[in-house]
A and B are shown apart, each in its own frame.
Chain A
Amino acid sequence: MPVTGPGSDYPLLRIGHLYASHLNVAGDGGNVVAIERRAAWRGIPTETLPIQVGEDHDLASFDLLFIQGGQDVEMAIVAEDLGRKAASFQRAVAAGSVIFAVCAGLQLLGHRYIPATGAAIEGIGLLDLETRGGDRRFMQHAACEVSFGDVPRTIVGFENHSGLTELGAGVRPFGRVIAGAGNNGRDGTEGAVSGTIYATYLHGPILPRNPWLADFLLRSALERRAGGPVSLSPLDDEAEDRSHAETERRALGNRGRRTALEPARLGRGLPAEADS
């Protein structure tokens, strides 16, 4: 494995994996692995703590927090617990902790989730957004363009949600939809960003196939810990780039298609196989 950069130059990076047991669908755990590995390959020490329902931690002591996808049943359980962690979350935001949220995590960091039937699930309102239950599920490869880095970048992943999210004035979109449904299949926005909170609907998991984004989050978290600019040594990203390119190709094959509920239709509309 490529190991570059002197280890002793970096402080220990503290990662909090919120609800690792309840919110763990769609391989999102791979995002945490991506950060850990990309840090380790550079000799950057990390420590990851799973934070479960009922556990009390000072979230501001973490440099990077993950809150990711889950199913409806788990989401309701987490929402109740999250309410008790809201103040701690606010302190973490004030202290500049980097927060990465996916799907259910995005919805729970918003004001609320209003299902088609039943009572609303209250979020903690760190993000100015609200989600309503929709009557169809968006399931497809997707791509968007993000502009919070030095230059615009294409981020790719797989979306799998039925909630329709509307952004308020207090957040910017995470990205602009290139292919896929984004937040609601209508306004071309994907995810949300506010300060050091980055929230997206994209699974995949996305960080292993978007190494630039993984490094952006890693660097932001390290800079928070170090209190100043940090530069990361480059890695050999051939495998990551190949996964990115193939996901992007499949996402572009889906362009214009808004839903893919019916399995038989999934294979259609794709360009010819890249087989030799």
Chain B
Amino acid sequence: MRSTWGHLRLGIALAAGKWAGVLSRWLRRGDGTSMPGLVARRIDPHVLTRLVADSGVPVIVVTGSNGKTTTGRMLTALLRAEGLDAQSNASGANLVQGVTTLAVEAADLRGRLSADVLVAEVDEGTLRQVVPELAPRVVLTLDLFRDQLDRFGELHAVSDALEASVRALSPDAVWISNADDPLLAYLAPERTERRVTFGLELDRSTDRITSAADSIRCPRCGTDLVYDRVYLSHLGAYACPACGLHRPSLDVAVTALELVGIAETRLTVRLPASELVLRIPQAGVHVAYDVAAALAVMVGLGIAPEHAAVALAEVRPAFGRLEVAQAGNRRIVLGFVKNPTSYNTTLHALASSDEPKQLLIAASNTPVDGEDFAWLWDVDFGVAAGLLERVTVSGTRADELANRLKYAGVDLRSLAVVTDRRRALDLALAGIPPGGQLTILAGYTPMLELRALMYERGWVGRLREA
């Protein structure tokens, strides 16, 4: 039994957290995605465990470098389509405060959770802290890219954190993992039961190994891996010629894939007991991975995704994932970029048409976005450099972006450096003719800031609409 004081403390923590969320949204201090968790944890540091682990509501943890938010949205849609009340931290607030906010907002003031299941997107760096507090029923590991290296030191430090989380799972929990990622495939090799794999099984490669690709060496013996297919960066069908490590067999496989412009992906997915033909209203090979991952979770939960086609057809791009907004008679395309892979994916999509482009690119040093932007030098800006008519760089590291673009061959006469986000947005838009398009590429914090400015002007909806 919990003490009276424990109850009271939890109640105060929840009330204060919920109020903080209302206030922060009202005052437009952020989007209220972290404040409730932050405040509630100050009052009751164990609030997350009390709400989640003690309630018995199953938690699904979604983690990895890329695709957490999109996959979380797809999974939530799949669960809801099967009649479950699924709640998620869908806006990408995936540090400890954001995850706590999810639980605080899903609970009533007595600490009872109304949801059937919680989908928690968790940052890789927060796993070690959050997983023990959540005691998840399912952990989904999406991929490992060179994401914010300075926060973790090395890629291997992140894989160690993932492995520790998998090893800490209770025996009846399920681990869902991307078999196409060599670094994930060799994690916790002793765990062969209650493990579901997903990946792509196409008749052609959709990418090639470039310098931006990570971990193309065997995680067991260090020999260069040989790829039969390369699908996205270092994801693919691989084998080690020296020690024999190879891609595990797939429980959930994308067997056909067609990208239609920047707006649609058509794919066929093989599940253990069925085959699905799907149309997703966003484009990219990464979308295929996100779909496969979300479906693999359903397989792991033992829930037949009978309404998958309808549910997934409604999942539009998440926050800043090539989201399209209308600014009067001008179009704005928002691209959330946080590492070489997400940059390169977006730049390649941009370079697929050869009309001149106008860009606003923003990067800022923040605890979320990281201090070190060295990885900007691994981004293939060269593919688009010749197509850039005008570029405005912004954020607290506008200086770094400008210098990087200079060395990528962007003409300095077409480059404007405007640190302030509001002035940068105004300047960038002023150069767009009616009917024209501005593409924004920004890291997490500057994207939130730019999106807030666009919300003020009625160009985009609220962030927490998911």
Contacts and interface: CB of A to CB of B under 8 A. Distances in A.
Contact of B372 (A160, A246, A275): A160
Contacts of B268: none
Given A1-B409, A160-B372, A72 B403 contact: no
A169 interface: no
Contacts of A24: 211, 378
Given A72-B154, A263-B151, A158 B372 contact: yes
Contacts of A270: 365
A276 interface: yes
Given A37-B407, A239-B406, A239-B412, A274 B419 contact: yes
Contacts of B375: 26-27
A208 B396 CA distance: 18
Interface in A1-60: 1, 20-22, 24-30, 33-34, 37
Interface string A132-147: 0000010111000000
Contact of A250 (B211, B371, B411): B371
A264 interface: yes
Interface in B104-132: 125
A98 to B, nearest CB: 20
A162 B153 CA distance: 9
Given A239-B403, A239-B412, A26 B156 contact: no
Interface of A: 1, 20-22, 24-30, 33-34, 37, 71-74, 76-77, 137, 139-141, 158, 160, 162, 203-205, 208-209, 239-240, 242-243, 245-246, 250, 260-261, 263-267, 270, 273-276
A30 B419 contact: no
A203 B374 contact: yes
A210 to B, nearest CB: 11
Given A158-B150, A240-B406, 8 more contacts: A24-B378, A34-B407, A73-B217, A74-B222, A137-B153, A263-B367, A266-B370, A275-B420
Given A274-B419, A275-B419, A73 B378 contact: no
A108 to B, nearest CB: 16
A71 B406 contact: no
Contacts of B409: 1
23 contacts: A20-B211, A21-B211, A25-B146, A25-B149, A27-B377, A29-B211, A30-B407, A77-B217, A77-B222, A158-B150, A160-B149, A160-B372, A205-B377, A209-B403, A239-B406, A239-B412, A240-B406, A242-B399, A243-B400, A263-B367, A263-B370, A275-B396, A276-B423
**Most chain B beta carbons < 10 A, residue from A25, A140, A204, A240:** A25
**Most chain A beta carbons < 10 A, residue from B125, B150, B378:** B150
A157 to B, nearest CB: 9
